[in-house]
Amino acid sequence: MLTSTNRLGHGGCLAFLSTGIVKIAWSAAPAVSACLLLGLSIDAPAGAPETPVARATLQAAIDEKRLAGAVVLIEDREKILDFEAIGFSNLASRSPMRKDALFWIASTSKPFVATAVMMLVEEGRLDLDAPVTTWLPGFTPVLVPPQGQPGTPTHPSITLRQLLSHTSGLPGGSPEETPTLDGTPLAERVTGYGKLTLFFEPGAGFSYGNADVNTAAYIVEKVSGMPYEVFLRQRVLDPLGMKDTTFCPSATQLKRLATSYIAGQDGRTLIETPLLHLRYPLDDCAHRYPIPAGGLFSTASDLARFARMFLNGGALEGRRYVSAASVDTMTHNVVPEAARRGIPQSAPPANVGYGLGWGASLNGDYFHPGTAMTDIRIDPTRRIATVLLFQLSTDDSFMLRDALLKASDARYAIHH
């Protein structure tokens, strides 16, 4: 899922679900957002400690049962500024949310694929502008002329850059990815993508989904000679100390898994639900396959390590993962203007674009939420990163995210 940045006014949020379905949540009432930020406008008594951002912004939603719980971590380039778990991991048992709660981060997995690709680009083993057929000769999706127009079907060239920016024209996924997204090996999924019909000429539009990014991850497999999940573990997760980030959580880790919720039919209650698009049991690694574009599980502390590495231009604690130039390439809009303006917008001004594996605001910050409202938002200008984890798939979660990021900026932003 991709949603626009926090600076969207009161028009709500845009979301692209990991299944490739486009969903727009609108909120036309400025008063709603204002209420969500009510705690920020009250001056605390002199000398009194400030209420943590998560509690000040989200507690009312928890009290009103619009949100079960959340984990929020805010950091700068060197340290954690704010870290809080509030509410409940499970409403029925009233289990308190924990700071080390595990979350399915869904499409927040996509920046990890882009990072893996850029590592190989820097090593001269991949070229962003080379055709995908360089590595996958049988990958030949078809482009059919619009109905009523003359012409014959073609198999246009797609580049790795177009895959990572969702400008390839590929649909979000293939019919084989049912009833769950993790039921077939990556190689089989990518073979299916290579037979799909394109929505548009590569580079001429924007179509968000998993097929692009899964294909890029499979190219990482082909070039590195190891499964994508092994490459990611060896080159990114282990060096960063991200011990709780995995495609297949253990039974022990699952004891910390936050319960997922969706909105009830009345729109005023939360309904417990299994994680959408995943096969159970979640620790059955023999029958579940990694989904590079949307299958990772993680914690706030782990994601904060990844975010801080980006906030520091691709390096952390003396180790460089990718160059500052690669970070710049990934985190700035690369979608052509005509196509970018075709991205459904949640509010004027239309400032949402996409980089390589990251949603990119024209204001300079970048981000990538997941279906159940997990998000990393990094703002190099304000020099802060915010990790938020809700495990909530409701329209309301977009407004809560918006309010939380505004509150994070108001409290901790460092201006040049």
At 415 the pLDDT is 59
How far is C-alpha 365 from the chain's CA centre?
14
Residue 247's pLDDT is 98
Angle at which helices 395-412 and 53-63 cross, to 10°: 160
Token pair of 310 as six digits: 């980006």
Residue-range domain boundaries for the chain: 12-42+51-110+231-304+356-412
Whether cis (ω within 30° of 0) applies to the bond prior to 281 is yes
Q: For residue 215, what pLDDT band results from cuts at 50, 70 and 90? A: very high
Determine the pLDDT at residue 119: 98
pLDDT at 345 over 90: no
Minimum mean pLDDT range among 42-56, 254-268, 272-286, 343-357? 42-56
Closest CA to 346 of 330, 323, 369: 369
Instruction: Sort strands 270-273 and 297-298 into parallel, antiparallel or unpaired.
Output: unpaired
User: Please, which residues have CB within 8 angstroms of residue 326's CB and are 6 or more apart in sequence?
Assistant: 118, 121, 122, 314
Return all residues near 306 (Cβ < 8 A) that are at least 6 apart. 111, 112, 236, 240, 242, 376
Its CATH architecture, for the domain 12-42+51-110+231-304+356-412, is: 3-Layer(aba) Sandwich (3.40)
Burial of 146: CB neighbours in 10 Å, binned 0-12, 13-18, 19+: exposed
Residue 297, SS3 per DSSP: strand
Q: Are 365 and 381 spatial neighbours (Cβ–Cβ below 8 Å)?
A: yes
State yes or no: pLDDT of 3 exceeds 80. Answer: no
Enumerate residues 6+ apart whose C-beta is below 8 A from 339.
167, 203, 204, 205, 206
What does the pLDDT read at residue 24? 26
pLDDT over 60 (residue 8): no
Of the pLDDT bands very low, low, confident and very high (cuts 50, 70, 90), residue 41 is: very low
> Average pLDDT of 213-230?
98
pLDDT of residue 352: 87
State the average pLDDT over residues 383-399.
93
Percent above pLDDT 70 for the chain: 86
Per-residue tokens: 228: 């994508």
Query: Mean pLDDT across the stretch 139-155?
Result: 89
Residues contacting 117, CB < 8 A, separation 6+? 126, 128, 160, 164, 216, 219, 220, 356, 357
Q: pLDDT at position 409, please?
A: 92
pLDDT digit string, tens, across residues 79-115: 999 999 999 999 999 999 999 999 999 999 999 999 9
